[in-house]
Chains A and B, each alone.
Chain A
Amino acid sequence: MKRLLWFLLGIILGFGLALFIGWELLPIQRANSSPALLRRDYREEYIRLIAAAYQVDGDLPLAQKRLVALQSDTFTTPLIDVTERWIQQGKPDTILIPLVQLAHDLGVSTPAMQPYLQRGQP
């Protein structure tokens, strides 16, 4: 009986030590995350890339699929958030026009976007 208690104590201590090693000290880094888990600046960059790629390939369903990967309530929300924030921050037209154009093509347009939409017209 005493030996069983020592054995169980060893198991518990060993398992606890393993949790500390496996989750804190030496956590395994698997490349399996989704764009939704990207750090905020990378997530914004991801949205910017979607708009830039759409500007080149014109593939709206693909752009939509990529936005969906951000796992927001509505797939256009991250796009609108980033675009409006960057408009407020006064980012250059070269960045804003593709974003506004993509939003427009996805059926979203806010008053702040309107001037950029007109500037983006050929």
Chain B
Amino acid sequence: MKSWGVLITGLVLGLAAGLVYTWVISPPQYYDTYPPLLDKTYRTEWIQMTALAYGAEGNWNRTQLRLQGLAEAEIRPIVATVLEQAVVAGRPLVTLQRLAELAAFYGVDTPAVHIYTGEVTVVPPLPPASSPTPPVIVPPTATVSSPTATPSPRPTLTAPSPLSTPQPLTALRIVSQTFTCEAQPHITVSLMLSHTITVRRREQVEMLPLPGREVWLLWEDGADRAVTGFKPEVGLERADFAVEPGHVYKLYIDTPQGVPLSTIQVEPCTTDAGEGWVSRLLMLLEQE
């Protein structure tokens, strides 16, 4: 082999060895980097914190700047998780709405996104004060109002929703249901706390209203949310939903996840005034 041939061979081998060294063994250490160059763990944290900050501050432009250069495919699942965790943690509604807005922007398609972005219509929690037809009490045979009343049947198996997480154990139970026949059906939930106090060494049970609790109704293609005590004149423990025949409603308290407290179907009924729909008043008791 000629001298130049040997030189070329050495050059190629040196080049190959040098590239292995600079690209694999000792790549340049960057300073003054930006979020897309962060290690995956830190990138995930950056996205999580950005989502939470948007939930708290609501600054859209700033959020977009913070997420600039990061892959949407990477942002999407993280934002979905942040929203899910925020729902479970019971964050304020405005925070959930912002997180849902952000998640929707990145293509997240979960029930929580639909609920909090308003794609699912949330009807006013209470029916109009002046009802065209006064409520008619269904004959006593149709009224269940005793502490031993069994709640509506619960499904033994429920397919987990994408947001499904173990529902916290709660002492909530339905103690009674009252049915009335009305032209405009509604479901009213009365949420009370059973509180045991000791007076002169004797235990007494007090019933306290529970205002400010979220009550959810979910049906096949929608959801509705009301807060107890929204109209104090009706009762601090009350939350009311206007419902429609033909839907099967699942009742949840606090978060719309897990096994529903009750499954309710709006059924037709007949009274002297004519045909109507069964409205329900559910008395729920939470034991301290």
Contact = CB atoms under 8 A, between A and B. Distances in A.
Interface in A56-73: 56-57, 66, 69
Given A14-B17, A49-B49, A49-B53, A31 B3 contact: no
Nearest to A66: B45
Contact of A39 (B7, B10, B33, B95): B33
B195 interface: no
Given A10-B7, A42-B34, A17 B95 contact: no
A35 B31 CA distance: 10
A10 B10 contact: yes
Contacts of B89: 57
B49 A16 contact: no
Interface stretch (A20-28, A77-85, A103-111): A20-28
B3 A6 contact: yes
Interface in A68-122: 69, 94, 98
Given A52-B52, A94-B57, A30 B27 contact: yes
A35 B109 CA distance: 31
Interface stretch (B35-43, B111-119, B131-139, B170-178): B35-43
A53 B89 CA distance: 14
B66 interface: yes
A10 B17 contact: no
A17 B49 contact: no
Contact of A69 (B28, B42, B55, B66): B42
A103 B5 CA distance: 67
Nearest to A50: B49
A49 to B, nearest CB: 4
A57 B174 CA distance: 32
Contacts of A8: 10
Contacts of B27: 22, 27-28, 30
Interface of B: 1, 3-4, 6-19, 21-23, 27-40, 42-43, 45-46, 48-50, 52-53, 55-57, 66, 86, 89, 91, 95
Closest CB pairs A-B (n = 7)? A18-B18, A10-B10, A22-B22, A14-B14, A52-B53, A14-B15, A49-B49
